Structures are given as structure tokens and as C-alpha cells.
Structure 1
């Protein structure tokens, strides 16, 4: 999710080159531009990117600009958002799009589709969550789900520096567990970590961090943050590096 306040947007514009890209006709989302720009400073070259939880393709759009030679596999399960992604990248031979969810199982799964697509999740929104708008047209739909390891991503990842990006609203640990073989060929992992119990049965940051440490990844950088009610930090975009 990319939940922003006006204050944060002003902050991003003031300290980044977003405005200069905008006047040159390059229209990128604030938060995705900030994340990828910071990523580019830390990791100048990427050859392969897996974008899990692409939403409307905003991260992939900026990443394809800053890493134009990178091969990409882009995943978004929502049927109302996927056509935008497919249209966006149809003419880019480096990018494959997939209208499915990723997790730790194969088949179909119930998905909570929210009017605000960026907070949609396999998990239900927690009653403790005061940061998301209420009464926002929630529907439960069936979506196809696969695992990272059910694809032959290791062949692509072995050809250069590979990044796995996860923005799946509290379901990150399940995606990671379904990709243990794939993780052996990944150099960097970018994920959105929740600092509060935003979803039911959402693992804590400590659990996700411990799992990544056990797989040979250590926290390398913070690339962005999301503000919730009363400008409280509720999510941070973190970069992990294989050590």
C-alpha cells in the first residue's frame, strides 16, 4: 500500500527530482518514485525484478524507467486493476504480467477486494486498524494463487542481479515461504513492513525479519514510509540484501 498524506507528498516533491520528471512528461506516483529513486542510489544495476502486488503498476513503471534493461515479472490478482498493467506493458518485451496472487499454496483463494485497491489483501482488515477508511465497498472474490517456486524464476535470476519486491498487505511471509528455492537466487528483497496490526493474522515485523535473516538476508536500507492516522508511522519500505 502507498497511503500518503498531503504533508508527505510535499516532502517528497521538495527533496526529490519528481517535479523535474513531471515537467518532462514522465508521470510517476510520488511514493513509487521515491522508493525506486532511493533503490537506484543503493543498487545502481538490476537485471531482473519480480514485482508481487503490483496494484496499478506504479512501482514497475518507475523501475522500468530507471532500470530499462531489466527483465520483469509483474503480479497483480485483482481483475479490475490487472488490465491497466497489461496495457501499460504490452509493448515492452522485457516485462511479463500475471493476473494471479502469490502465496504458499496452489489453487484458488478468497481475496478481499477493497474499493481502495492498494489496501486489498488476502487477509481481512483488523478491527484494531484505525488508519484505513471504513465502509469502503469491500467484496470477497476468488482469485488464482500460485507460489514463486512454481515458476522458473531461478533461470532468469541467475543471469544477473535480481530483486524481489513484495507489497501484499500483510501476506509477505506466506509469499516468502512459497519461494524458498527462488530466494536462493535473489540478491535483494524490497518489502513493505507493517508496524501495526493492520490485518487479521498478519505476522509481526519481527517474524518477517527473523525469517529473512534465516534465509541469509539482512536489513540494508529504509527506502520510504507511510503515514496513518495522526501522522503516525504505520508502514516502512525496507530493502534486504543477501549476505
Structure 2
């Protein structure tokens, strides 16, 4: 399947994925299968020394990791939390932690390191970003606003968004959505949705429904496929590959293939070939 789809789409180069906040705390990243198959290259950023060391120790041939704290280019403090997944350029919001008290131990700030942040647009090492995965605990909007030039080539962004802000001065979902739509992206799908139980949690042990308050989500944005003339042929090819391998979005991949067919960039029977490839992946009866 891998070689067949790549041969069908024929990108000019490997897909370039950038991971800001690459600390491996949530299992395999969405691009894992693509990276393992040698179909993409990865540039990761992680300012936490221990997390960066783990990434460096396990990296493969198509991976590079850098210690920059990506932001607005100004001076800041990296707030080190008891659980590294809470570490942020922002400070945990105490009022929110009173409402969602189980987060308190993990969100405790145990150290502060002065850092000078780096604007995404100032990183000459980055060329032809196709996908941005970002999880920087509330500081995402500054990255987007100071990365508008670099993100012009991108066709997909996977970002954490917050419906209830858990850090001081953290932008909420609405502000993120306005910025990314202004840059030509539209929401595509949720990768994960997180809920939280409010304090006091009065649910009895026998109560099976989960917590109901929407807290955060990992949301995938893609370049606006309704207005495809804004995308180059190469962008459409990388969006097709990302849709299939990272997001499991066969309909979006099919949409890209159809647009590429109309441009004469893939064979006339590309959609039928893709359907056949998908059909071959289905489990066979009795197996």
C-alpha cells in the first residue's frame, strides 16, 4: 500500500512535518506510521532538556530535534511543572485548578527557567512545512501569529485547543479558530476530546457516565479544500498523503486525488486505483 500510494501521487519530495512541543507524553504521534515508512521527515522542537534527550536517543534517520522555545521572539519564563506535560510558557491558572482540583498536583510549578523565545518565521532551518503539530500548553496562538510566513506552505495543522482555559492569559478556542481561518485553514476533525469533572465531584462510584465538562481537544485544521485554487499541486499531494496516513481521512484524500486528476497531475484512473488500494486493506472474512 505504501509504495503504491506514493507512486500514484508522486510528490516531489518527502512530506515535511514540524512538531512544536515534541515531548513524547501521549503515545505515538499521528505521523508515526508515515515516519516509520520513510515517507516524511520530521523537525521537532522541545525546550525541556530531559524530554529533548529522550527524543535524541530514539530518533531515526529522518528526524531532527532542536531546543528552541517557539513563541513571539521575546523573553519569557518556562514554567516547569511537576508533570512535564503541564510545563508551559504560561502559568497554570489557579482559579481553574480550584474547579478541576485533580489537576493541582501535576500543575504545581517546581521551577522557572528564563528563555528567549524564537519566532517560527525567523527559523531559516525550516523550509516547506507541510504539517504542523503543536502542543505548547496554551501558547499556541503566539506561534501561529509569528509564523504566518512559514505556515503559508502548510496544508495541515494539528493543535491543542482549550474550551476552559487552564493557564493565565491563555487564548481560548475562538481566538485560535479566528487566526487559523484567517490563514486559510478550516477545521477538519477532532483527534481527541478531553472532559473534566468539576470539584466537588459528587458522582457516586456506581455512576457510569463520564465527566461532562468539555475542557480541551486536539483539533486538525487543513488548508481550505473548498477553494482549492489557493493550493499548489505539490500542496495537494502532501495534503492527500497526510489525510491518508496521519488522519485516516480517506474522503479528504479522495478529494485531493480528484483535484489532482483535473489538473493532470495524477493518472486519470487515480480514484479507482485508490479505492482498490483501500479495498485491499479490508479484513477478509475468516481471517
Distance 1:56 1:67, change over 3 A: closer
User: What secondary structure, in the 3-state scheme, does the structure 1 residue paired with 2:50 have?
Assistant: coil
Q: Does 1:220 align with 2:188?
A: yes
User: What secondary structure, in the 3-state scheme, does the structure 2 residue paired with 1:105 have?
Assistant: coil
Q: TM-score, normalising length from structure 1?
A: 0.72
- Greater relative contact order structure (CA < 8 Å, 6+ sep): 1
- 1:228 is displaced (CA, Å) by 2.5
RMSD: 2.2
Q: Is the 8 A contact 1:124 1:200 kept in 2?
A: yes
Distance 1:60 1:75, change over 3 A: farther
Q: TM-score, normalising length from structure 2?
A: 0.62
Q: Does 1:146 align with 2:113?
A: no
Q: Is the 8 A contact 2:196 2:214 kept in 1?
A: yes
Instruction: From 57, 64, 69, give the equivalent of 1:96.
Output: 64
Q: Is the 8 A contact 2:17 2:132 kept in 1?
A: yes
The corresponding residue for 2:49 is 79
The structure that has the greater radius of gyration is: 2
Distance 1:141 1:180, change over 3 A: same
User: What secondary structure, in the 3-state scheme, does the structure 2 residue paired with 1:124 have?
Assistant: coil
- 1:104 is displaced (CA, Å) by 1.3
Q: Aligned residue pairs: how many?
A: 192
Larger mean CA deviation between 138-147 and 50-59 belongs to 50-59
Instruction: From 156, 162, 172, give the equivalent of 1:194.
Output: 162
Q: Distance in 1 between matches of 2:42 and 2:216?
A: 25
Q: What do residues 120-151 of structure 1 show as CA deviations (whole Å, max 9, x unaligned)? A: 10000112223322473521112342111122
The gaps in structure 2 that reach 5 residues or longer are: 1-10, 199-210, 225-287
The corresponding residue for 1:4 is none
Q: Does 1:124 align with 2:81?
A: no
The gaps in structure 1 that reach 5 residues or longer are: 1-44
Q: Does 1:133 align with 2:133?
A: no
Distance 1:229 1:63, change over 3 A: same
User: What secondary structure, in the 3-state scheme, does the structure 1 residue paired with 2:31 have?
Assistant: helix
Q: Runs of 4 or more off by more than 6 Å in structure 1?
A: none
Q: What do residues 18-76 of structure 1 show as CA deviations (whole Å, max 9, x unaligned)? A: xxxxxxxxxxxxxxxxxxxxxxxxxxx98111000112375665623344321111111
Q: Is the 8 A contact 2:160 2:217 kept in 1?
A: yes
